[in-house]
Amino acid sequence: MRSFVFAAALIFAGAAQAETPQDLLASLAGQWEGALGYRDYQSNELFELAVVTSIRTAEDGRTLVRTSRFDEGDAPDVFIVSVSGFDDSSGLYETAGFRAGRAMAVTRESIVAQTVQGPEHWTLLFSERGMDDDREADIRVTLTRTGDETLSVKEVDYLDDPAVRFEFRNQTRLRRVQ
């Protein structure tokens, strides 16, 4: 899950019209497939799980509903459903995530546009203070869209360890299939 605070309007290079993070995120509506890659803390190796994701906008045109199915090999598939949207009063991007047998996860993130070169070529940075691996951390997720592909990279800065500065936690690579 990720959350974020809306920090700036996005303006296309050479375009007269501004695009908001809400507009850019809504452009992700569709069917995607790819892999979740995560770093194993024991071996320090990258492992990947196949993922299929569906993203749709609710009837209000502002709320995103995301359903992901992770193939864990011999184990039963894992399904995660999340609902996200901007809180107009705080500017935060809020997400509630649901996974069978677990408590609901809630995130509240800020968002900053790093680059915007059009509706299908952009990078957004989400950040929040939260928990990761049962430790308080500053968490950032960099989401880059290049045409029909996205790469989301999560990094964490554990507050109890000053030697750790935004280390890689996981990534999700997706490509649009519909």
pLDDT digits (tens, 9 = 90+) for 154-168: 999 999 999 989 999
**In terms of Cα–Cα distance, which of 7, 33, 31, 32 is closest to 20?**
7
Q: Which residue has the higher pLDDT, 3 or 85?
A: 85
Angle at 16 (CA atoms; ends 11, 18), nearest 5 degrees: 35
CA distance 58 to 64: 6
The single-letter DSSP state of residue 122 is: E
3-state secondary structure of 146: strand
Domains and CATH numbers, the chain: 4-176 (2.40.128.20)
**51-78: per-residue pLDDT in tens?**
999 999 999 989 999 999 999 889 999 9
Tokens read off for 173: 């690579």
Tokens read off for 108: 């509240």
- Residue 40 confidence class, pLDDT cut points 50, 70, 90: confident
Residue type, 33: E
8 A C-beta contact, residue 89 and residue 115: no
| CA 42 to the chain's CA centroid | 25
> What Å distances lie between residue 174 and 29, 31, 148, 162, CA to CA?
13, 10, 8, 33
